[in-house]
Amino acid sequence: MKLATLVKCAVGAGVGLVTVMAAPATAWAAPAGAGVPCTQQALVAAVNAANAAGGGTINLTAGCDYALTSADNGENGLPVVTTQIGVNGNGATIDGTGAVRVFEVDGPGGNLSAQNVTITGGSAGIGGGIENFGGTVTLNHSQVNGNTAAVAGGGIASATFDPSSVAKLTLNNSAVTGNQQTLGPQQQLRAGAVRGRDRQRRLPELLRTDQLVDPQRQPGG
């Protein structure tokens, strides 16, 4: 995947504070056994259980469309990933239905590795599909498309606020396409200032840094 595409995925982080890698493709096979039942409630319970256990693997039902229609916390349709969690998608889709963000991953312990899954329909202020704050996100044979963010990172926003917990994003045979960021540059700065009070006051600075890359372009993916 081209570096330009990867940079678009990681909107909302200053130069030198985000690691984005296109790693070599690796073989992956779907595991045997039944998957998580095809409901938001069941998927929420599975993520909660994995976090509580200090990490784990979640197997989705093959071909299922997990529709996230309401918030579990904040703007998120699922619990925040704070441990090392693997998601074996088996061709399933996790759909934010335009109502919520799909995944939030928080460092230093948050580590999401997703295989063969589509993340779509997410909607949030930052990172409509995935918001990665100082954690690690790895996508294998997966798609992030049709997500929306108001401020930055329609598909994926990956940001580092603490140098001791550097955000990492790796894509293997995966695509981040057809996502949207809806606010213009000046609106981004105003929204970022408000958002910064929720996260850290450095956020407006990080958003401005990103805009300097191409001030005429509104990052989409």
Beta carbons within 10 angstroms of residue 10's beta carbon: 29
pTM for the full predicted model: 0.76
User: What's residue 23's pLDDT?
Assistant: 52
Task: Decide if 26 is inside a domain.
Answer: no
Q: By residue range, what is the domain housing residue 181?
A: 3-14+35-211
Task: Decide if 54 is inside a domain.
Answer: yes
Task: Decide if 179 is inside a domain.
Answer: yes
Task: Decide if 220 is inside a domain.
Answer: no
Alpha carbon dihedral 164, 81, 169, 180, in 10-degree steps, equals: -120
Task: Decide if 39 is inside a domain.
Answer: yes
Grade residue 2 by pLDDT with cuts at 50, 70 and 90. very low
Grade residue 73 by pLDDT with cuts at 50, 70 and 90. very high
Task: Decide if 170 is inside a domain.
Answer: yes
User: What's residue 139's pLDDT?
Assistant: 97
Task: Decide if 136 is inside a domain.
Answer: yes
Element counts in the chain: helices (H) and strands (E): 4, 17
Q: What are phi and psi of 187, to 5 degrees?
A: -65, -35
Distance CA 95, CA 99 (A): 9
What's the pLDDT tens digit per position in 147-196?
Answer: 999 988 899 999 888 888 889 999 999 999 999 988 655 554 554 444 44
217: buried, middle or exposed (CB in 10 Å: 19+, 13-18, 0-12)? exposed
Distance CA 136, CA 133 (A): 9
User: Domains in the chain: how many in total?
Assistant: 1
